[in-house]
Structure 1
Amino acid sequence: MYKKKYFSNQSLKDLNTFRIDVTAKKIIFVKTIQSLINISKTCQSSKIPYIILGEGSNILFLENYAGVVIINRIKGIKIIEKKDSWLLYVFSGERWHDLVKLTLNLGILGLENLALVPGCIGSAAIQNIGAYGLEFKDICQYVDVLSLKNNTYTRIKKKFCKFSYRNSIFKKKYNHEHAIIGVGIKLSKLWHPIIFSSLENYINPKNLTAYKIFNTICTIRKKKIPNPKNIGNAGSFFKNPVITKKKAQQLIRLYKIPNYPQKNGLIKISGGWLIEHCSLKNIQIGDATIHKQQMLVLINKKSATAQEILKLAKIIHRSILKKFNISLKPEIDFIGQLGKIEPSKIFKIKNY
Structure 2
Amino acid sequence: MSIERGLSLRPYNSFGLPAQARQLVRIRSDADVRRVLDHPELGRAPKLVLGGGSNTVLTRDVAALVLKVEVSGIRLVEERPDAWIIEAGAGESWHGLVEWTLAHGFPGLENMALIPGTVGASPVQNIGAYGLELKDRFESLDAVDLVTGRSVTLSAHACRFGYRDSVFKQGGFAGLAGKSLITRVRFRLPRPWQPVLGYVDLEKKMAETGVHEPDARQIFDWVCAIRRAKLPDPAAIGNAGSFFKNPVVSAEQCRDIIGRDPHIVHYPLADGRVKLAAGWLIDACGWKGKSIGRAGVYEKQALVLVNRGGASGAEVLTLARAIQESVYGRFGIRLEPEPVVV
1:68 maps to 2:51: no
Unaligned runs of 5+ in 2: none
* Helix, strand or coil at the partner of 1:260: strand
1:260 equivalent in structure 2: 267
RMSD, matched Cα: 1.8
* Helix, strand or coil at the partner of 2:196: coil
The CA deviation at 1:296 is: 0.9
Confirm or deny: 8 A CA contact 1:122 1:180 kept in the other structure. Answer: yes
1:166 equivalent in structure 2: 164
User: Using the alignment, how far apart are the partners of 2:287 and 2:201 within structure 1?
Assistant: 24
1:309 equivalent in structure 2: 316
* Helix, strand or coil at the partner of 1:200: helix
Deviations 1:27-82 (A, max 9, x none): 22222221122124437656432211111000001111113212111112231212
2:144 equivalent in structure 1: 146
Determine which of 236, 243, 246 is the counterpart of 1:240.
Answer: 246
User: Using the alignment, how far apart are the partners of 1:282 and 1:112 within structure 2?
Assistant: 30
1:199 maps to 2:202: yes
2:31 equivalent in structure 1: 34
User: Using the alignment, how far apart are the partners of 2:269 and 2:71 within structure 1?
Assistant: 35
1:184 equivalent in structure 2: 186
1:54 equivalent in structure 2: 51
Determine which of 215, 221, 227 is the counterpart of 1:209.
Answer: 215
User: Using the alignment, how far apart are the partners of 1:163 and 1:132 within structure 2?
Assistant: 18
1:15 equivalent in structure 2: 12
1:344 equivalent in structure 2: none
1:347 equivalent in structure 2: none
* Helix, strand or coil at the partner of 1:213: helix
Determine which of 126, 143, 153 is the counterpart of 1:128.
Answer: 126
Q: 1:75 to 1:46 in 2, by over 3 A?
A: closer
User: Using the alignment, how far apart are the partners of 1:114 and 1:47 within structure 2?
Assistant: 38
The CA deviation at 1:280 is: 1.7
1:84 maps to 2:82: yes
Unaligned runs of 5+ in 1: 336-352
Confirm or deny: 8 A CA contact 1:76 1:94 kept in the other structure. Answer: yes
Confirm or deny: 8 A CA contact 1:108 1:189 kept in the other structure. Answer: no
Matched to 2:313, the amino acid is A
The CA deviation at 1:231 is: 0.6
2:153 equivalent in structure 1: 155
Matched to 2:144, the amino acid is L
Confirm or deny: 8 A CA contact 2:83 2:190 kept in the other structure. Answer: yes
User: Using the alignment, how far apart are the partners of 2:156 and 2:289 within structure 1?
Assistant: 42
Matched to 1:327, the amino acid is R
Confirm or deny: 8 A CA contact 1:146 1:178 kept in the other structure. Answer: yes
Matched to 1:252, the amino acid is I
Flag as ranges the 4+ runs of structure 1 deviating above 6 A: none
Q: 1:282 to 1:187 in 2, by over 3 A?
A: closer
Alignment of 1:318-337 (within 5 A): 318-335=325-342
Confirm or deny: 8 A CA contact 1:232 1:300 kept in the other structure. Answer: yes
Matched to 1:306, the amino acid is G
Q: 1:169 to 1:72 in 2, by over 3 A?
A: same
Q: Which moved more, 1:283-292 or 1:125-134?
A: 283-292
The CA deviation at 1:319 is: 0.3
1:345 equivalent in structure 2: none
Q: 1:14 to 1:45 in 2, by over 3 A?
A: closer
**Matched residues, percent identical?**
35
TM-score (structure 1 length as normaliser): 0.90
User: Using the alignment, how far apart are the partners of 2:17 and 2:40 within structure 1?
Assistant: 25
User: Using the alignment, how far apart are the partners of 1:176 and 1:305 within structure 2?
Assistant: 24
